[in-house]
Amino acid sequence: MTDIASAEPIRLDGMVVLDFEASCFPQSGSFPIEVGVATLDGWSAGWLIRPTLEWIRHGTWDPNAARIHGITVEVLQRDGLPPAEVVQELDKVLHPDRPVFSDAAGAETFWLSALYGVVGREPPVVVQPIQPVLEGLTSSGGLYAAGEIASAEYEAGLGFAERHRAKSDARRLAEVVRILVGIR
């Protein structure tokens, strides 16, 4: 499969789908609170992220975002891992030789950079938008591609009903790719 915009083949082997939940929408003061990853072979993992003191003091916590994802500061303090531990876990999955995709690449890049910034590092990967991949996987292409993608999203949603939790969202998006590729 080839991405028309870049005329380079889009790699699905080793593909990682990445998703974050955050304290608020991407803006100054926004910080990551949960990250999830999934691969096309069905593997997935997710971690709550304990906010740093800097994030608590100078960050933004939007109660509306908290209502959407259902994660409280208290849950993060109790169950979240320190950012350095989450980075260690992500380093086991995110490698420059593995393509990483998201349905919100700009936002995920923002939060991935914030997370790795805590340990004084740049993220080891570039998060790419998944939409061109999904369009490239459809059998119809063009205007009909949107309908085929929506159908796959609906089907994937039946198996992963939990919304706005990072691991579940990453799993659901990986399942959309699996459906379009025909891996079941």
The CATH number assigned to the domain holding 27 equals 3.30.420.10
In a domain, 4, yes or no: no
- Which domain covers residue 111, as residue numbers? 11-181
The answer as to whether 138 is a domain residue is yes
pLDDT band at 10 (very low <50, low <70, confident <90, very high): low
3-state secondary structure of 94: coil
pLDDT of residue 5: 46
Residue 5 resides in a domain: no
pTM above 0.95, yes or no: no
Per-residue pLDDT, 7: 43
* 2 assigned to some structural domain: no
Q: 120: which residues sit within 8 A by CB, 6+ positions away? A: none
Cβ neighbors of 147 (< 8 A, separation 6 or more) are 140
> What's the confidence (pLDDT) of residue 89?
99
d(CA 149, CA 139): 10
Q: Tally the domains of the chain.
A: 1
- Name, in order, each residue with C-beta under 8 angstroms of 2's C-beta and a sequence gap of 6 or more: 8, 9, 10, 136
> 28 lies in a domain?
yes
Measured CA to CA in angstroms, residue 53 lies from 31, 38, 58, 59, 118 at distances of 12, 29, 8, 9, 11
pLDDT band with cut points at 50, 70 and 90 for residue 11: low
Tokens linked to 141:
């292409």
Whether the predicted pLDDT of 4 surpasses 70: no
- 6 lies in some domain: no
- 29 domain residue, yes or no: yes
The 10s digit of each residue's pLDDT in 29-76 is 899 999 999 999 999 999 999 999 999 999 999 988 888 889 999 999
In a domain, 3, yes or no: no
Mean pLDDT of the chain: 89
